[in-house]
Structure 1
Amino acid sequence: MFTIEHEFDSTVITLVDEEAPHLREDVVINAFDDCVTLEQHEPTTDRLMRVTFSMSQLRDLAAALDLPEGVYKLVREGGGT
């Protein structure tokens, strides 16, 4: 299950783990104009863990989900990277 909310400066997506028996904490994704953050509460340390992706890293991740093992570099149409 997931939710989508539109805030003033970002879109917030929350992923809820519904798979039993080992439920994981919710993952909150904040999509800003210049970056995307992933946040998840870590119960063993009682801390919020955050990873920040640049837009370039996010494009690479999206492409990587559909590619076989290897090393790649995305080149945007028009010669940009």
Structure 2
Amino acid sequence: MFTIEHDFDATVITLIDEGHDGLMEDITISAFDDCITLEQLHPVTEEPQTITLSMAQLRDLMAALDLPEGSYRLESRPR
């Protein structure tokens, strides 16, 4: 399950783990103009852990999900 909210400066997506044993904490993804943040509470300390991705890193991650094992560099094509 997930939710989508549009705030003033970001789109916020919350991924909710449900329906099985060993549930993980919710993950909140915030999409800003210049970066993406992922936040999840640590299950023991209950402190938020945040990862920030640049838009280039997000682009690389999206491409990596569809590629076989290896090392890659994405090049921008002139428009």
Q: Which portions of structure 1, spanning 4 or more consecutive aligned residues, are displaced by more than 4 angstroms? A: none
Question: What is residue 15 of structure 1 aligned with on the other side?
Answer: 15
Aligned pairs, how many?
79
> Identity of counterpart residues, as a percentage?
61
Q: Match for 1:3: what amino acid?
A: T
d(CA) in 2 for partners of 1:56 and 1:23?
A: 31
SS in 2 for 1:59: helix
Q: Which structure 2 residue ranges, 5 or more long, are not aligned?
A: none
SS in 1 for 2:3: strand
Question: What is residue 2 of structure 1 aligned with on the other side?
Answer: 2
d(CA) in 2 for partners of 1:18 and 1:78?
A: 44
Q: TM-score, normalised by structure 1?
A: 0.93
d(CA) in 2 for partners of 1:75 and 1:19?
A: 41
Question: What is residue 27 of structure 2 aligned with on the other side?
Answer: 27
Q: TM-score, normalised by structure 2?
A: 0.96
Q: Which structure 1 residue ranges, 5 or more long, are not aligned?
A: none
